[in-house]
Structure 1
Amino acid sequence: MLKGFKDFIMRGNVVDLAVAVVIGAAFGSLVTSVVDGLINPLIAAIFGAHDISGVMAFTINGSTFSIGLILQALINFLAVAAAVYFLIVTPLNKLAAMRKKDEPAPDEPVAPTEIALLTEIRDALQAQK
């Protein structure tokens, strides 16, 4: 039972998934910091607001609606998704393709040719006589 658990844990996809979750969380916070500290203030400055959440904000009956807050979440999502794709997914896919290319191809059974089949049939018929 412990051997089966060890095999399960040491299986590549489980370990890869655990690493991906940890690295993804850390990487996501890094990209979010760059977006919050650099990109969002630039966008807010373009619109003349001190914070992106104040961009295109309006109030109706005491309720404040903020298009900038939605824009900020969208920018954060797109920045994290693009960074993860281009800096993690693409290089890992290339690495996996290189590994697969380096692995020897499994020996596929070679189908016998027509001559070999006819020779076997001939030999079988001669053995029956």
Structure 2
Amino acid sequence: MPLLSGFKKFILRGNVVDLAVAVVVGAAFTAVVTAFTAKIIEPLIAALGGSKSVDGLGFRLIKGNPATFLDFGAVISAVINFVLVAAIIYLFVVLPINTLNERRKAKNGPDPEEPASERELLEEIRDLLAKQSKPSSHSATPPSVGGPSL
């Protein structure tokens, strides 16, 4: 069973879950967003090109050679596609997971495996040193520094 608990701990780390869900959901939403940009955004951008002889927003370097067409509309569509996919993943995956993690952390208190901050460690050392420097209540003489004298 230690193997399963270790695996569960690994899987439930925020970064692993976020990454796995983002990949799956991102792939699904990419198809939807790509269709949206190809069928709605690209025709709108192509309409901005103005000329019916041009295939979109761009120009040909060599007339009559379609391989030399610089298609700025395709680049703009790719950027819009990327921004839409990133926004959807953030809104529907990352934000809910972060909210759940914050609620769980607030409910359970701070993570016991989380290391103490430098300030907390220094305060703890200070308190321990202050305790050690106080004379004990059952002894009337302060402790000697060099050890017992003869």
Say which of 94, 98, 101 aligns to 1:96. Answer: 101
Whichever residue aligns with residue 85 of structure 2, its letter is: V
Say which of 19, 30, 33 aligns to 2:35. Answer: 33
Report the equivalent of 2:84. 79
SS across alignment from 2:109: coil
Report the equivalent of 1:58. 60
Displacement of 1:7 in angstroms is: 4.7
SS across alignment from 2:139: helix
Percent identity, aligned pairs only, is 33
Return the alpha-carbon distance in structure 1 between the equivalents of residues 51 and 5 of structure 2.
56
Report the equivalent of 1:67. 72
CA RMSD of aligned residues (A): 3.8
Give structure 1 stretches of 5+ with no counterpart. Answer: none
Q: Whose helix proportion is higher, 1 or 2?
A: 1
Report Cα offsets for 1:76-115 as digits up to 9, x if no partner.
112212222233222322222122111134689xx6x79x
Query: Is 1:122 aligned to residue 136 of structure 2?
Result: yes
| C-alpha contact 2:18 2:93 (8 A) present in aligned 1 | no
| C-alpha contact 1:55 1:66 (8 A) present in aligned 2 | yes
TM-score, normalized by length of structure 2?
A: 0.56
Displacement of 1:26 in angstroms is: 1.1
Give structure 2 stretches of 5+ with no counterpart. Answer: 117-123, 144-150
| C-alpha contact 1:35 1:79 (8 A) present in aligned 2 | no
Aligned residues: 121
Displacement of 1:121 in angstroms is: 4.2
Structure number with bigger Rg = 2
Return the alpha-carbon distance in structure 1 between the equivalents of residues 77 and 102 of structure 2.
36
Return the alpha-carbon distance in structure 2 between the equivalents of residues 31 and 124 of structure 1.
78
TM-score, normalized by length of structure 1?
A: 0.62
SS across alignment from 1:69: helix
| C-alpha contact 2:58 2:71 (8 A) present in aligned 1 | yes
